Amino acid sequence: MSKFLIAGLGNIGEEYTRTRHNIGFLVAERLAADLNKDETGGKLFSTDRLVTIHHTRFKGKGVVVIKPTTFMNLSGKAVQYWLQAEKIPVNHLLVVTDDLALPYGTLRMKKSGGAGGHNGLTDIIDTLQTENFPRLRFGIGSEFQRGKQVDYVLGEWSEDEQKILNERIDQAVLMIKSFIGIGIDRTMSDFNNK
């Protein structure tokens, strides 16, 4: 049976919950809820080594959704551990992350690439010793003054951003389901830049 690891990046702790940097967690949570509409009650995620985790299935494939509890800058350790523990090939990994270089709400899936200054991606690349893993980048824009990048990334969504946030998260979930169901090439051509 083929299996997929979906890693939503973010920081643990109440103070980070509603920040732009935690979009990976929000997408992971929505994905787990979407794939388990028939189940009632209970928490979707349980705590395990280096992560909170949810096991599910989609179109006959195993899906492991993780939210690392290592903090963003040490995400690689959690991703590597669960790839090995679940025996998942790196091309079946999808990392969901925020991206300053993309306009707010833009969703872009890529097969590989550098970290683009993102500390979570940098750590995953360094730990896995490869840039060749799929990622879904969620644009958070770059509407900040010089020297205020950290405040912006760790800031909460503006009122205007919140108006379309749910719709963009739903779109991200559709892209992830497409990635699992029909592969990255068709997903990129169907969804990128839309």
Q: Which CATH number fits the domain that encloses residue 56? A: 3.40.50.1470
How many domains does the chain contain in total? 1
Active-site residue identified among 21, 54, 92, 118: 21
Q: What is the H or E stretch that residue 163 is in?
A: helix 159-182
User: Among this protein's residues, is 54 annotated catalytic?
Assistant: no
Asked if the model's pLDDT at residue 16 lies above 90, the reply is yes
Q: Which residue has the higher pLDDT, 182 or 144?
A: 182
Tell me the per-residue pLDDT of 119-130, one tens digit each, with 9 for 90 and over. 999 999 999 999
Q: What does pTM read for this prediction?
A: 0.96
Which domain, by its residues, includes 37?
Answer: 3-191
Q: Which residue has the higher pLDDT, 57 or 43?
A: 57
